Amino acid sequence: MTARADSKVNILLVDDQVHNLIALEAVLGDLNQNLVRAHSGREALRRLRGDDFAVIILDVRMPGLDGVDTATLIRRMERSKNKPILFVTALEPPPMQEFQAYAAGAVDYLLKPFRAEVLRSKVKVFVDLSLKSEQIREQAERLRLLELREQERKINELDGFASTVAHDLRAPLRSMAAFSEALLLEHATSLDPTGQDYARRIHESAKRMDRFIQDLLAYCRLSREEFVLESVDLDAMIREILAQMSPELLERRACVNLAEPLPRVRGHRILLTQILTNLLSNAIKFIVPGTEPRIRVRSERSGDAVRIWFEDNGIGIAAEHHERIFRIFERLNLPERYPGTGIGLAIVRRAVERLHGRAGVESEPGKGSRFWISLKRVEDAHETDRLHHAVGRG
């Protein structure tokens, strides 16, 4: 039903007698709405399946499906379950039938001959109500779209700004890193130990800043780029990532246990690589010094989704920080002990959202953490075709 203030609503008139339908049309014609005829209960149900109606006027006595049975079926249909039904009948109904009619969802029960203006004003109430509620629905939808557009504009503006700044910052930073390194490598003899220490600090700061900008750029790209979803073999992917991380794993004497093969998911290779790498790096990093990291990765199916768990034996996180850590730049620990940029988990959350999934954590201080992501599972192991689903922005 279109619903501007000047639009019309549909009114369904159900009667097996054509002269009754004509009489109803004569009474309701003044309302200037679309009057739709149905000559039986079955035809009424068919029409209700195809269109929206503001009100239904239903004859009680009809061959085949009578009015009460028709009303019962109307109430069972999702599209018409709340539509007002006015019963009209020529015969004084037995009390039981009237009771059944109300039980089947009647809002009124009119006996013929009825006064034309009574029927007209009763129907008009429902017409006005229908027009008003449609207007309210449209206004709410317009507001929602405006808010969404505004939000998207702000995010794009901010991300555009951040990536321009980040690009412009990287060039001078690279010079700082290169010249401080040259100072240390080629002119170390002309610097006293304090001078060498200063040059080393400049070099490390420049490197740290560069890593920070790279993370920020990766985060910005996540909201602006279009990603086409495909079927990804998560098991093969995590093995590749672990192979790449093996120097770091060896150095920290970390052990990663893959409980069982991970399933195929609907995803995107770049996004999933970022997600898995960040979660695994954190699981290795946030550990009490001197402890060997023990990480278990397992999956848990639920319907057409799968939840992948990353369980570690690290320092853990207090419940009040479980949401906060997924926000950009939020860090809980001293940078000297646990260096980082505070962007990793923000990337995880945003990347997972671009895959229409979710991410979260269960943890307690001193008892390790269990980070999880949930994604859509791809049933067919051989399905490697692209799924042609562009991931929405933001």
Q: Footprint of ligand ADP on this chain (CB under 6 A)?
A: 278, 282-283, 286, 312, 314-315, 317, 325, 330-333, 340-346, 369
Q: Which C-beta is closer to ligand ADP: that of 195 or that of 316?
A: 316
* Residue pointed to by tokens 């990337």: 347
Q: Which residue is nearest to ligand ADP (CB)?
A: 340
- Closest distance of CB 328 from ligand ADP, Å: 8
- Closest distance of CB 274 from ligand ADP, Å: 11
Q: Which C-beta is closer to ligand ADP: that of 34 or that of 214?
A: 214
User: Are the C-beta atoms of 56 and 74 separated by less than 8 Å?
Assistant: yes
Tokens, residue 176: 């700082």
Q: Which C-beta is closer to ligand ADP: that of 127 or that of 216?
A: 216
**363 phi and psi, to 5 degrees?**
-165, 160
**56 phi and psi, to 5 degrees?**
-120, 130
DSSP 105: T
Q: For residue 379, what is the enclosing H or E element?
A: none
Three-class SS state of 235: helix
User: Are the C-beta atoms of 277 and 241 separated by less than 8 Å?
Assistant: yes
Q: How many CA atoms lie within 13 A of 176 on its CB side?
A: 18
- Closest distance of CB 312 from ligand ADP, Å: 5
- Closest distance of CB 255 from ligand ADP, Å: 15
Task: Give the pairing type, strands 55-59 and 85-89.
Answer: parallel
- Closest distance of CB 352 from ligand ADP, Å: 13
Q: Which C-beta is closer to ligand ADP: that of 342 or that of 394?
A: 342
- Closest distance of CB 162 from ligand ADP, Å: 16
Q: Which C-beta is closer to ligand ADP: that of 14 or that of 295?
A: 295
Q: Comparing C-alpha atoms, which of 326, 344, 352, 146 is closest to residue 229?
A: 352
- Closest distance of CB 366 from ligand ADP, Å: 11
- Strands, E, within the chain: which ranges? 10-14, 34-38, 55-59, 85-89, 106-111, 228-233, 255-258, 264-267, 294-302, 305-311, 358-363, 369-376, 386-390
Three-class SS state of 297: strand
Q: Comparing C-alpha atoms, which of 294, 237, 241 is closest to residue 262?
A: 237
Q: Which pairs from 38-42 meet CB under 8 Å and 24+ separation?
A: 38/12, 38/13, 38/14, 39/14, 39/15, 40/14, 40/16, 40/64, 40/65, 41/14, 41/65, 41/66, 41/67, 41/69, 41/70, 41/73
- Closest distance of CB 140 from ligand ADP, Å: 36
- Closest distance of CB 286 from ligand ADP, Å: 3
Q: Which C-beta is closer to ligand ADP: that of 98 or that of 312?
A: 312
Q: Which C-beta is closer to ligand ADP: that of 36 or that of 332?
A: 332
